[in-house]
Amino acid sequence: MSAEAERKTETIPQWKRDEIDALAAFLESYESVGVVNIAGIPSRQLQDMRRELHGTAALRVSRNTLVERALVDVDEGLEALTEFIDGQVGLIGTNENPFGLYQQLEESKTPAPIGAGEIAPNDIVIPEGDTGVDPGPFVGELQTVGANARIDGGSIKVVEDSTVLSAGEEVSADLANVLGELGIEPKEVGLDLRGVVSEGVLFSPEELDIDIDEYVADLQAASSAARNLSINAEYPTARTAPSMLAKAAGEAKSVGLSAAIESPDLADDLVSKADAQLRALAAAIDDDEALPEELRGVEAAPAADAGDTDSEDDGDDAEADAAEEPTDEDDADDDADDGGDALGDLFG
């Protein structure tokens, strides 16, 4: 420690030194540390929030000057948080990842009434419907703040959704009273994360605010695209080798069927293919007299892809798409139940 730093330390009261040491110990005991805004949160609700965080995160509140000193003393990237030390703030520490911390803080927020003089965090809308309030001066109060209201059927009703204040504008006393009477709570109370440092990296709330479902869908799409690339580039991996073998087997079978190669593995398919071709030929001949009696009225068998016969599939759509290699020949697998009947009838 330099002589100048020693002189500054000597002027700090002992209780402040103890508090700085306690704050430093707090900062060093968590993998992720952030600064949260606690302005406007009643003491009772703040205690409730502490209890809700128990087990996953801890909240520590102290004087801003002492918090800044502790952040600088510990450093490890935490000094970047000093820019968020302004107003009523607290430190929050967790061993969870910062994305999980942000989600937890957002989900813990609760609706709350807004008071006169406060700034609207978003557009304030009085919804269409029956207010449940008996006819009286309240209809005039609604109209004064900009709501389209009237007396109807023995009560006061708002006839359409009415935006009575835009985001960023100040709430008047009249509007605060009307909202309170209607039970409308237009703001959320909770711990607003201003910034968090994890493993020396500073994250802003905007960077932590991600759509989990969309993120998972992106990962799945990337995984599928990578699998297709591996298969099409013939680059085997533990995940793609089974599909590549199935694709190769399907292609080899297609070649065998196209070339009419005699093989025990292809015999049934070759017979089915020949039967389908015979049926197609018989169906194309209009003169029944020119056909043997057994083939008169025979319909062409449905065409099938010879390359897909008995090919394996692990159920993954991306791998199946990559493995498909259509051929110009038909193997008529769909007609397997009666395959060879026409040939049998003809050559008996």
Q: What is the pLDDT of residues 134-177, one digit of tens each?
A: 999 999 999 999 999 999 888 999 999 999 999 999 999 999 99
Is the per-residue pLDDT at 89 higher than 70? Answer: yes
Average pLDDT over residues 6-20: 77
Residue 347 tokens read as 């050559």
Q: d(Cα 18, Cα 24) in Å, to the nearest integer? A: 10
Segment among 80-84, 196-200, 230-234 with least mean pLDDT: 230-234
pLDDT value of position 333: 43
pLDDT in tens, 235-274: 888 888 998 898 888 888 888 888 888 888 888 888 888 8
> Which alpha helices (H) appear in 75-136, and where do they start and end?
98-107
% of the chain beyond a pLDDT of 90: 45
Is the per-residue pLDDT at 345 higher than 70? Answer: no
Is the per-residue pLDDT at 133 higher than 50? Answer: yes
Segment among 31-35, 52-56, 81-85, 294-298 with least mean pLDDT: 294-298
Segment among 135-139, 224-228, 275-279, 314-318 with least mean pLDDT: 314-318
pLDDT in tens, 166-221: 999 999 999 999 999 999 999 888 899 999 999 999 999 999 988 888 888 999 99
Pick the closest to residue 56 from 97, 113, 26 (CA basis): 97
pLDDT value of position 332: 38
Is the per-residue pLDDT at 109 higher than 80? Answer: yes
pTM: 0.54
pLDDT value of position 329: 40
CATH of domain 3-109+190-209: 3.30.70.1730
Q: d(Cα 79, Cα 202) in Å, to the nearest integer? A: 10
E strand segments, 222-271: none
* Domain coordinates in residue numbering, the chain: 3-109+190-209, 124-183, 214-347
- Tell which CATH architecture fits domain 124-183: Alpha-Beta Complex (3.90)
pLDDT value of position 321: 46
pLDDT value of position 344: 45
The mean of the pLDDT values for the chain is 82
Segment among 4-8, 50-54, 160-164, 208-212 with least mean pLDDT: 4-8
Residue 161 tokens read as 């959704």
pLDDT band, very low/low/confident/very high, at 50 (cuts 50, 70, 90):
confident
Q: Report whether 301 contacts 340 (CB < 8 A).
A: no
pLDDT in tens, 288-333: 776 777 777 766 666 554 444 444 444 344 444 444 444 434 443 4
Q: d(Cα 15, Cα 176) in Å, to the nearest integer? A: 43
Residue 78 tokens read as 């935490």
Is the per-residue pLDDT at 55 higher than 90? Answer: no
The set of residues, in sequence order, having a beta carbon less than 8 Å from that of 15 and lying 6+ positions away, is none
Backbone angles phi, psi at 193, to 5 degrees: -75, 120
Pick the closest to residue 146 from 162, 122, 157 (CA basis): 162
pLDDT value of position 289: 72
Q: d(Cα 130, Cα 305) in Å, to the nearest integer? A: 65
